[in-house]
Chain A
Amino acid sequence: MAEFKLPKNSVVQKGKIFKADADAKNVKSFKIYRWSPDDDENPRMDEFEVNLDDCGPMVLDALIHIKSKIDPTVTFRRSCREGICGSCAMNIDGTNTLACTKSIDDVKTECVNVNPLPHRPVVKDLIPDLNEMYAQYASIEPWLKADTPLPERERLQSPEDSDLLNGKNGHGPSACILCFCCSTACPSYWWNGDKYLGPAVLMQADRFISDTRDEATGERLDQLDDKFKLYRCHTIMNCTSTCPKGLNPAASIANIKRKLAERNA
């Protein structure tokens, strides 16, 4: 059955509190999920008071501030700090987003709650295990398949064709950075993530199905015509509302369903 209670060893405990310096005037506290595989302790929420006058504007800046100045054991992924690599995807203030593009000022609550992406095994602190999702990505064979021999120059697309991938506003499936905020926000993915591919991977499937240069459309649709892989999407739309890049994975899924209807109905 779907589990509605955390296992005993996952119940989150109260953590330590790290006070800011007494002379700090502009203080915001951050509650951060902590769990380490190296001891037998339950996860806990540590509270860090951050002097915002000594820290950049984004949540990632605060995390880096905490790691460099308060507790070096706080563990998280980050790389580009400009919303293009997808490494720092985490749940901030109850919403999956990128720490680097989430402004601290946008969190109106007294305390900024920072958790790893939901419903994933945790590697450590804010790092979720995404191996299963990368494998699901590999399973849709995300590369161009064409039997037509390579032309002397590039395979041509009309501007309208490329709009199908990039979107007229630049928000098409090609703009996805695979941060998996959407898949880990999806209840269908929570309950059946081992079989349902999830919005992020389906959006990439759509990227190749909609690619006018790709000649394996039928084969790709065959691979998705499954009660779990594609049709476990019940149009809940959490994917689209949480996407930190403003993309629309739900529209991609609808497009795949439309293509299958066009073919099979």
Chain B
Amino acid sequence: MSDKKHKSIISPLKAARGMGADKSGFHHWWMQRVTAIALIPLTIWFMFCAVGAIANASYDRALEWLSSPLHAVLMILYVIATLYHAALGLKVVIEDYVHKESLKIASIFFVNFACFAGAVASIYAVLLVSLKG
């Protein structure tokens, strides 16, 4: 029925069962932990190696550093793990607190898009620097 005032009487059991399990729970939970564990060494590398190498370096020196295949690959992995982890985590926060279905779907879409676009842009930048060098 399209009538907005449509009210239905359903049993508490029907409400509790809902539409059944979405089978996405484990995958989300697991990927959040996998990315978290991957981020431990990657963040240590980023803090000490990347920041240390780039912070006080000249522009040319920084470009040279990022052109090294090892550092370029680690930087791409770091960007993917960070933004994937962020997208998974923000989705949970939105689901916890935003209960208006349309706003919830829009917010999750926005977060996913922003993280995905951020990852693509970052990877493109790293490749640009790395392959040119």
Q: Which residues of A contact B (CB under 8 A)?
A: 1-2, 131-132, 134-136, 138-139, 188, 191-192, 194-195, 197, 222-232, 234, 257, 260-261, 264-265
Contacts and interface: CB of A to CB of B under 8 A. Distances in A.
Contact of A138 (B13, B23, B96, B99): B13
Give the 3 A-B residue pairs with the shortest CB-CB distance, closest first: A135-B12, A226-B21, A231-B25
B16 A226 contact: no
B96 A264 contact: no
A131 B12 CA distance: 7
Nearest to B27: A264
A1 B99 contact: yes
B26 interface: yes
Interface size of B as a range: 20 to 34
Contacts of B18: 195
Given A222-B23, A231-B28, A132 B12 contact: yes
Contacts of A257: 26, 29
Nearest to A191: B96
Given A1-B100, A135-B13, A139-B13, A223 B29 contact: no
Interface of B: 11-13, 15-18, 20-30, 92, 95-100
A227 B30 contact: no
Contacts of A234: 92
A264 B24 CA distance: 11
Nearest to B98: A1
Contacts of A231: 25-26, 28-29
A69 to B, nearest CB: 37
A224 B21 contact: yes
B22 A227 contact: yes
A227 B24 contact: yes
B23 A139 contact: no
B60 to A, nearest CB: 45
B15 A261 contact: no
A131 B23 CA distance: 26
30 contacts: A1-B97, A1-B99, A2-B99, A131-B12, A132-B12, A132-B15, A135-B15, A136-B16, A138-B13, A139-B17, A191-B97, A192-B95, A197-B16, A222-B21, A222-B23, A223-B21, A224-B25, A225-B22, A225-B24, A225-B25, A226-B21, A226-B22, A227-B22, A227-B25, A228-B22, A229-B25, A230-B25, A260-B26, A261-B26, A264-B30
